[in-house]
Amino acid sequence: MRKNLKTNTGLISLLLLLTTSCSGLVNSAGLSQSLEMDELTPNVEFNLKTETKDGKMVYIGVGGVIDGLVNPDLYINQGETVRITLMNNDGVIHDLFLEELNINTGSISNKGDTAEIIIKISKDGTYTYFCTLPGHRQAGMEGKVIVGDSPKAADMISQKSIARSPIDLPGTLGRDTSENVLVELETIEIEARLSDGTSYKFWTFNGKVPGPFIRVRVGDHVEVRLKNNSDSGFSHSVDFHAVTGPGGGAVATQTLPGEETGFSFKALNPGLYVYHCATPMVAHHITNGMYGLIMVEPEEGLPPVDHEFYVMQGEIYSTEPLGTKGLNTFDVEKLLDEEPEYFIFNGSADALTAEFPLEAEVGDTVRILFGVGGPNFISSFHVIGEIFDRVYDQASLTSDPLTNVQTTLVAPGGATMVEFTLQVPGRYLLVDHALSRLERGLIGYLEVTGPENAEIFQSN
C-alpha cells in the first residue's frame, strides 16, 4: 500500500518508511518524490534498539562508533542517504519520530520487531528523534540527528567506556567451608574510549578492563567456562596464576570465535593472583586489556575494612603518538620495543579521575587490591600523601605484612594488597612513582571527605 507522508518541503528529498517484523513486511509508505533506484541505496546506516537502563527507557546504539551508547547523536553529512533501523528489544510498544521533519517509523510492539526509515536531508541542522508513546520521551527516549560537517566514521570517537569501577568487586566471602564455584568469562573485542577524544580497539573479559574480580576460598573447586564472542576476530584463552595445571588453564581454553571451552581446578594456595589471556602473541592480548585478578582467600578469611578497591595497571602501544585524536591502532613494533604511548589504570587514561575516582571518609580503613597486567613494566605503586600501614608483599596473604611502607614494587603479572587508615581529608593521588608515566595517563584520585585534623596536617 502506498500513501503520502507529511514532510517539510526543502528539508527532505527522499523518504522511504518500512515497518517489518518476524513475519516480514507488514506496512509501507511511499516516496516524497520520484526517485531513481540507486537513490534508495543508503551509504550511511545506524542501528538502534529499545531498552530499559538504570530505570529509564532509552535507545541504545548497536554497532560502529555508537555501539552501546545511550540515545546516541547520529552524525550525517548533507545529502547522504541514511538508513535508521529501530529494533524492539524489550517487548514494549515504541516508535521513533523525527520531530522537525514530522516522520515516524510507526509503532513496533513485539520483541524482535524492526522498523526502518531511509532519508536524505538536504539542509544542515539538528533534528530531534524521540518515542511518541505517552511518557516514553519523558522517561528518557530522546536523541539527535546532526546534519552537516559530520566526522568520517574512521575519525569518530566511541564514547563507550570499558573502564571498570574500582568498587566493582564482590565482598569478602565470610564462609569457613569449601564450595563449588562457577566462573563464567566471555571475551569481547570492542572499540571504546581510551582518553578524551581518543578511542582504541580493546580486547576484554566480560566487556571491561580489567576483567571481573573473582573471589574464591582456599579448597574451593572452581569450574571455569570461557566463551569467545562470535564477533571476535581472534582466538582467546585464559591463564589463571592461581591454577596448578598446564598453562594455568590456557591449554584447555584456546577458544575460536563463537565457541566455548572450559576446565576445573582446586584452589590450593591462598593469595591474590593475576589472570590473563595466553593466546599467542600473548603480550598482544594482554596489552589490549585481557587481564584481571582472582583472590583465593585463606581459610581464616581477611580482616574487615571499610572499603576495598580493585585497581590494575596496563600499557597501550598505539601507532599514533600520545594524544592523537580519533581511533588509535595497535603497533606491534612498539610492543616488541617496549615503548608504550599510554600507561593506564582500569582501562583508560582517566578511568580513576573523571569516571570512577575512589571515595572514602576520614577514619575509614582502606584496602587496595592492586595488580599489574602489563605486559612489560614494573609498577612502583604509591599513594601521594599516604603511608601504607600494611603491605602484603607480592600478594602473599599468609606472610606477615610489611608495615609503614611508602612505595611498593609490583611486577608485571604480579599483585599486592595494601591497607591504610585515612586521617586527613583531601585528594590523594594514586601513581606509579616512575612519575613520567603520570604524563601518559597513569593517575587516579582518592577523594577523602570529613573533618580537618590540624594536629596531623594543617595548611599555613
Is residue 426 domain-resident?
yes
Check whether residue 275 and residue 332 sit in a common domain: no
Instruction: Dump pLDDT digits (tens) for 198-252.
Output: 999 999 999 999 999 999 999 999 999 999 999 899 999 999 999 999 999 999 9
CB atoms within 10 A of CB 334: 17
Is residue 164 domain-resident?
no
d(CA 418, CA 430): 12
Q: 355 near 163, Cβ under 8 Å?
A: yes
Collect the ranges in the chain with pLDDT lower than 50: 1-38, 153-154
Check whether residue 287 and residue 318 sit in a common domain: no
Residue 123: per-residue pLDDT: 84
Parallel/antiparallel/unpaired status of strands 426-432 and 379-384: antiparallel
Is the whole model's pTM more than 0.85, yes or no?
A: no
Instruction: Dump pLDDT digits (tens) for 374-399.
Output: 999 999 999 999 999 999 999 999 99
Residue 56: per-residue pLDDT: 87
Is residue 4 domain-resident?
no
Q: 169 near 215, Cβ under 8 Å?
A: yes
Domain containing 63 — which CATH number? 2.60.40.420
Can you read off the three cell numbers belonging to residue 323? 594524544
Residue 53: per-residue pLDDT: 78
Is residue 168 domain-resident?
no
Check whether residue 197 and residue 313 sit in a common domain: no
Domain count, the chain: 3
In this structure, the dihedral spanned by the alpha carbons of residues 199, 204, 210 and 211, taken in order and rounded to 10 degrees, is 160
Check whether residue 286 and residue 323 sit in a common domain: no
Residue 158: per-residue pLDDT: 62
Can you read off the three cell numbers belonging to residue 218? 582456599
Check whether residue 215 and residue 281 sit in a common domain: yes
